Amino acid sequence: MHSNQYTLIYAAVLSILTAVILAVTAEGLKPAQEANIALDTKSNILKAVRLDYSERGQIENAYDDNIKEMVLNSSGEKMEGVDAKSVQLKNEINKAPDERRLPLYVYQGEGGKQYYIVPVRGVGLWGPIWGYVSLENDFNTVYAAYFDHKGETPGLGAEIAEKPFQEQFQGKQIMADGEFVSVNVVKTTAKIPYGDEHRVDAISGGTITSNGTDEMLKNCIEPYLTYFGKVKK
């Protein structure tokens, strides 16, 4: 039988040893992990303009050649010296709309057509949800959308990360008669005062995630309208 003192010392030593091993591993692998996340972010932004690449080279080239990054303030002016990648959306969405820093990605597509990719972030059922929505240069029609989540229920809320849900958004419109109405994520039977081009189907069994997505789009796209209004002229 081991004495109490032995047990306590054993527990302490084991804990410290484990902590050291994990800390060393985590620190050592950090550069590789961060590189992966950066590449993943670029890949997701490209997915928001219907470009689905899996090769590192393809992603890097497509992104570096065709995407311009900028950060705007709420008055629609570009903020110089601020890197889009450094803006953490999870902090920005909690600020008041006029204090937010708004990253924007502009994609130069075929024939010089420009697409404006807005990053969005919100709250699902179990954790954060986020994504990128691209608009055509009429600042109204949605070209494509990409969503992802941290821990939504597989098969239910997690469906927002699947193509069928995201493809619904293609061709939808966010403006009605000059007013911002967003693309509403609602049940098929729900009645909204706007036409079909302003709604997509929510997910059966994923009500809270769907509501979160709906909120996210309204909350995150609206601040960009000032800038869009300026560029349109």
Partner 1 sequence: MSTDATTEAPVKVEKKREALFSKKNVQTLRDPLDDNNPITVQVLGICSALAVTVQVKPALIMSLGVIFVTSFSNLIISLIRKSIPTRIRIIVQLIVVAMLVTIVDQVLKAYMFDVSKKLAVFVGLIITNCIVMGRLEAFALSQKPWPAFLDGIGNGVGYGLILIVVAIFREFFGAGTIMGIQFVPQWLYDIGYVNNGLMVLPPAALFIIGIYIWWQRSRNTKLVNVS
Token digits of residue 118: 């807005």
Strands 199-201 and 142-149: unpaired
Measured between alpha carbons, how far apart are the two ends of the chain, in Å? 83
| Choice from 12, 16, 33, 192 touching partner 1 (CB under 8 A) | 33
Is the separation of the CB atoms in 188 and 173 below 8 Å?
Answer: no
| Choice from 12, 16, 22, 192 touching partner 1 (CB under 8 A) | 22
Binding mask 35-74 for partner 1 (x = CB under 8 A): -xx-xx-------------x--------------------
- Nearer to partner 1 by Cβ, of 59 and 221: the residue is 59
Question: Of 9-17, 73-81, 136-144, 203-211, which segment contacts partner 1 by CB under 8 A?
Answer: 9-17
Q: Does 10 bind partner 1 (CB under 8 A)?
A: yes
Sign, CA torsion 66/72/75/80: negative
DSSP state of 64: H
Residue 121 CB neighbours (<10 A) = 17
Q: Does 204 bind partner 1 (CB under 8 A)?
A: no
Q: Does 16 bind partner 1 (CB under 8 A)?
A: no
Q: Does 151 bind partner 1 (CB under 8 A)?
A: yes
At what angle are helices 4-47 and 56-66 packed, to 10 degrees?
60
- Nearer to partner 1 by Cβ, of 125 and 221: the residue is 125
**Torsion on CA atoms 19, 25, 31, 35, rounded to nearest 10:** -100
| Choice from 12, 14, 16, 190 touching partner 1 (CB under 8 A) | 14
Contacts with partner 1 by CB under 8 A lie at 1-2, 6-7, 10-11, 14-15, 18, 21-22, 25-26, 29, 32-33, 36-37, 39-40, 54, 151, 154-155
